[in-house]
Amino acid sequence: MPITVAIPTYRREQVLLNSLDYLLALIPPPAEILVLDQTERHEPATGQRLMELHAAGRIRWLKLDTPSIPQAMNRGLLEARQDIVLFMDDDIRPEPGLIAAHAAAHQAHAEVLVAGRVIQPWEEGIDFSGESSFRFAGVNAFWIDEFMGGNFSVRREAALALGGFDENFVRVAYRFEAEFAHRWRPRVDASGSSRLPACIT
């Protein structure tokens, strides 16, 4: 199942390039990588590398005028060429099975939002394998009610049918994910569950 990875980014330099290198090295790789760039002006080396990747067809580098997380994500939904869109932060180190895990979750559950693993800096190196309760840094799958915006995937048409992400959330767009989850939950899968599956990737 091919997947578009969409990365909203703002004022990131080498960290963004590192994230792209990690994604491009994945097996299987994303079918498409959209860089939704809200940066006014990059350092010359960053801009040059992004231009090279775009020219080579390895990414699609879209420059946006106004910094807005929900607006950038909506642009990603509109621009994506694949049915599944995986939104990622711009400072990531993905695990090798990232794309395959999201694809498998969507194949198993046709009408879901898949929330992936998110490890905060203070959680790095901690073994969460024994955890019996849900946490985003954990390695066990749960059905959950909300998600974090740095690693989740949706079916493009379903998200657009809901109106996309609410652009009234400004600046850091605090809790925009919760608002979207609130609209998404009533339409989730055929079993009648109103929760979201956390696909730990």
Q: Read off the pTM.
A: 0.89
Q: In the chain, pLDDT over 90 holds for what percent of residues?
A: 60
Predicted confidence at residue 82, as pLDDT, reads: 98
- Alpha-carbon Rg for the chain, nearest whole angstrom, is 16
pLDDT digits (tens, 9 = 90+) for 47-58: 999 999 999 999
Q: What's the pLDDT band for 187 if we cut at 50, 70, 90?
A: low
pLDDT digits (tens, 9 = 90+) for 117-140: 887 778 787 877 777 777 777 777
Q: What is the mean pLDDT of the chain?
A: 88
Residue 139: CB atoms within 10 A of its CB come to 14
Q: Which of 182, 188, 190, 191 is nearest to 163 (CA)?
A: 182
Predicted confidence at residue 55, as pLDDT, reads: 99
Q: What is the DSSP string of the chain?
A: --EEEEEEESS--HHHHHHHHHHHT-SSPPSEEEEEE--S---HHHHHHHHHHHHTTS-EEEE-SS--HHHHHHHHHHH--SSEEEEE-SS----TTHHHHHHHHHHH-TT-PEE-----GGGTT---TT--S--TT-SS--EES---TTEEEEEHHHHHHTTSS-TT--TT-TTHHHHHHHHHGGG--TT---SEEB---
Predicted confidence at residue 198, as pLDDT, reads: 46
Tokens 């994230």, residue?
Answer: 19
pLDDT digits (tens, 9 = 90+) for 8-39: 999 999 999 999 999 999 998 999 999 999 99
Would you say residue 104 has pLDDT above 60? yes
Measured CA to CA in angstroms, residue 60 lies from 47, 64, 133, 190 at distances of 13, 13, 38, 35
Domains, the chain: 3-197 (3.90.550.10)
